[in-house]
Structure 1
C-alpha cells in the first residue's frame, strides 16, 4: 500500500474511532507510518484527506451492500443476507457514526458522501422491495419506500442501542425484529 492509501486508510479508521475533531494530522501520520510532509504532498490538508476517507468508506458500504443485493436467492433472501451479514455492532457503522459528528455534518463537502450513501441505500432497498412486491414475493400492502427507510433506520439504530447497552445482542435483536416484520409480508405459495 502506498503512502496515499495508508493515509486514507488511517484516516478512515481514526474517523470511525474518534470522529473528525479527534482525528489530528499527527495521529493520522503516526497510524499511517508516514512522514510529516506526506499528508500535504497528497492532500490539501485535513479536510481534503477526510473527504477522501469518508468517500472511500461510503463507496465500500455501497459495494458490500450491492454484493448482497445482487447475490443469489429471492429478494427477501438477499435483503436478509445484507441485514444479517457479520458486522462489528459495538463499533458501529463507519458511515453512520459520522452523522453524529457535528463537524462532519456542518461541512457540506464532508456531509455529502454520507447523505448520498444513505439516500442510495434507502433507494436501492426500496427498488428491491418494489421488485419483490411486483413479482408476487411480497404482499401488495407493503410500502417499499417506507419499509426501506425503516430497514436502514433499524440498522443504524441497532448500532446505537448496541453501543449504549455494550452488547451486540441488542443489534441482533433489532435486525431479527425487522426481519420478522418484513417476512410477515412474504406471500405464502
Structure 2
C-alpha cells in the first residue's frame, strides 16, 4: 500500500472513530506510519487529507449499497437486502456520523461527499420504489422519493438508537418496522 493510501485509510478510520476535530495530523501520522513530510508531500493539510478520506469512504459506502440495490431480484428484495446488510451497527455509519460533525458540515469541501452519498442513496432507493410501482409490485400510493427518504432515515436513526442503547436490537427493530411498512404497500 502506498504512503498516500495509508494516510487516507488511517484518516478514514480516525474520522469514523473520533470525528474531524479529534483526528489530529499527529494521530494520522502515527496510525499510518508516515512522517510529517510524507503527509504534506501528498496533501496540503488536514482538510485536504480529510476530504480525500471522506471521498473514499463515500465511494466504499456507495459500492456496498449498490451491491445490494443493483442485485437481481424484486425491488422489495433488493431494498430488504440493503436494509438487512451486515453492518457494525454500534460504530454507526461512517458517512452519517460525519453529517453530525459541525466541522464537517461547516466546510463545503468536507460536507460534499456526505451530502452526495446520502442524495445518491435516496435517489437509488426511490428508483427501486418507482420500478416496483411500474412492475405492479408496489401500489402506486407511496411517493418514491418520500419512501426513500424515510428508509434512509430509518437506517441513520437506527444507528443512533443502537449506539444510545449499546445494542444492535434498536437498529434491527427499526429495519423490521420499515420493511413491514414497505411490505404493506406491496400489491396483492
The TM-score bracket by the shorter chain reads over 0.9
**What do residues 42-90 of structure 1 show as CA deviations (whole Å, max 9, x unaligned)?**
1011000000000001111111111111112111001100100100110
Q: After the TM superposition, list the runs of 4 or more consecutive aligned residues in structure 1 that deviate by more than 4 angstroms.
A: none
- Helix, strand or coil at the partner of 1:94: coil
My pick for the range that moved more, 43-52 or 60-69, is 60-69
The aligned residue for residue 127 of structure 1 is 127
SS in 1 for 2:61: helix
**Counterpart residue number, 2:25:** 25
Unpaired stretches in structure 1, ≥5 consecutive residues: none
- After superposition, the CA RMSD in angstroms is 0.7
Q: For the residues of structure 2 that align with 1:77 and 1:63, how far apart are their CA atoms?
A: 18
Q: Name structure 2 gaps, 5 residues minimum.
A: none
In the TM superposition, residue 34 of structure 1 has moved relative to its aligned partner by: 1.1
Distance 1:21 1:140 in 2: 46
- The 1-side partners of 2:16 and 2:56 are apart by 12
In the alignment, which residue of structure 2 is the partner of 1:168?
168
2:146 alignment partner in structure 1: 146
1:5-20 equivalent positions in 2, closer than 5 A: 5-20=5-20
TM-score, normalization by structure 1: 0.98
How far apart in 2 are the matches of 1:21 and 1:14? Answer: 10
Q: How many residues align?
A: 188
How far apart are the structure 2 equivalents of 1:139 and 1:174?
22
In 2, the alpha carbon distance for the partners of 1:185 and 1:24 equals 48
